[in-house]
Amino acid sequence: MKEELELRNEISALVHKIVVLVRKERTIPREQIFILINLLEKFREFSKGREVIPKRMAYELFYLYTNVSSQLSYNKYEDTSIFTELYMAITSVFNDGLYNKE
């Protein structure tokens, strides 16, 4: 299993990559978002039972969420299922009781 810091750094790097693609190329990189969702599920093992997560991580996830939301609205994507999955993955990091797969 990866160490928490290593996993957080990997999540951070992927968030930045996704945001650049969303803002620069005006596309939703579905493949990278699915990878991020899997990483967030792994991070839940570390965040489970905690009252707080790192401020930087919370900011990056919020920033990603708002950028993807804006891009979906701008391009009027019909399939928003990836957005729903991203939302569920992000909120599950903040709250242990939400979207439990156990």
pLDDT tens track for 33-59: 999 999 999 998 888 878 788 899 999
What long-range pairs does 79-88 form, CB within 8 A, spacing at least 24? Answer: 82/28, 82/30, 82/33, 82/34, 85/33, 85/34, 85/37, 86/33, 86/36, 86/37
pTM given for the model: 0.84
Contact 12, 57 (CB under 8 A): yes
pLDDT at site 94: 82
The pLDDT of residue 93 is: 85
Which residue type is seen at 13? A
Contacts of 61 (CB under 8 A, 6+ apart): 15, 90, 93
